[in-house]
């Protein structure tokens, strides 16, 4: 695992990359761990723990070479550290999202158990403006009942009609196969 908190420290672009983006505590590290099936990314109950971009090389089971990179980006939009975080956004998140040539797909995480937040909107607007390929990962779906899930997803779909949405739960594994399918598709067409 490699960490970088300045563009000059980003690992040289090589393998196709998938970025995990979203507010502090939305569940980025948990989605990474659930996709990989191992605890590689630190999860936390204290928002704002990830203060650099963490790059993970991902290998398929039985294959010797890594085939893609997961980039776990710092969360933002948490009041207590927002000053620090907005300087991070300007200092390395924004340059990363604008310049990273191997970035194949951005996963914009939202918490499906709460309504869309201002910071969710800011992120999605940023990705649209930056012309990045992205999809919404509506995580923590285990927190809503079966008949609450559909209206909750609809709320996001209405706000972000241009975006594809995958319902996910790092706890139950819901959405895992679908998200892997999307990731595979994005990296072969990258």
Ligand X SMILES: Nc1nc2c(ncn2[C@@H]2O[C@H](COP(=O)(O)OP(=O)(O)O)[C@@H](O)[C@H]2O)c(=O)[nH]1
Q: Is 88 in the site for ligand X (CB under 6 A)?
A: no
- Compute and round to an integer the Cα radius of gyration of the chain: 16
Tell me whether residue 21 or residue 103 sits nearer to Mg ion (CB atom). 21
The span from the CA of 4 to the CA of 27, in Å, is 20
50 is a site residue for Mg ion (CB under 5 A): yes
Distance CA 92, CA 42 (A): 20
Q: What does each C-alpha distance from 116 to 22, 99, 176 come to in angstroms?
A: 12, 27, 22
Binding span for ligand X by CB under 6 A among 3-11, 57-65, 144-152, 165-173: 165-173
Q: What is the C-alpha separation between 113 and 109, in angstroms, rounded?
A: 12
- Residue choice 43, 102, 117, 122 for contact with ligand X (CB under 6 A): 43
Q: Does 33 bind Mg ion (CB under 5 A)?
A: no
Which of ligand X, Mg ion, none does residue 54 bind (CB under 5 to 8 Å by kind)? none
Among 22, 25, 29, 92, binds Mg ion (CB under 5 A): 29
Contact, 100 vs 10, CB < 8 A?
yes
Q: How many CB atoms lie within 10 A of CB 101?
A: 7
Q: Collapsing DSSP states into helix, strand and coil, what is residue 22?
A: coil
Tell me whether residue 16 or residue 27 sits nearer to ligand X (CB atom): 27
Closest contact distance (angstroms) between CB of 128 and ligand X is 21
**DSSP SS3 for 179:** helix
Stretch that binds ligand X, among 92-100, 150-158, 169-177, 179-187 (CB under 6 A): 169-177
- Contacts with Mg ion by CB under 5 A lie at 28-29, 50
- Contacts with ligand X by CB under 6 A lie at 22, 24-30, 43-45, 75, 139-140, 142-143, 169-171
């Amino acid at each position: 695992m490699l960490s970088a908190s300045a563009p000059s420290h980003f690992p040289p672009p090589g393998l196709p990359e998938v970025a995990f983006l979203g507010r502090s505590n939305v569940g980025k590290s948990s989605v990474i761990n659930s996709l990989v099936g191992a605890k590689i990314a630190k999860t936390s109950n204290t928002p704002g723990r990830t203060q650099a971009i963490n790059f993970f090389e991902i290998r398929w089971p039985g294959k010797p070479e890594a085939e893609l990179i997961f980039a776990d980006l710092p969360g933002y939009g948490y009041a207590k550290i927002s000053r620090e975080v907005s300087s991070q956004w300007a200092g390395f998140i924004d340059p990363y999202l604008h310049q990273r040539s191997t970035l194949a797909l951005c996963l914009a995480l939202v918490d499906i158990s709460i309504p869309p937040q201002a910071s969710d909107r800011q992120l999605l607007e940023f990705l649209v403006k930056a012309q990045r390929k992205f999809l919404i990962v509506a995580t923590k779906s285990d927190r809503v009942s079966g008949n609450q899930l559909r209206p909750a997803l609809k709320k996001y779909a209405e706000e972000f009609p241009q975006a594809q949405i995958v319902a996910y739960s790092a706890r139950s594994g819901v959405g895992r196969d679908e998200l892997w399918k999307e990731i595979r598709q994005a990296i072969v067409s990258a």
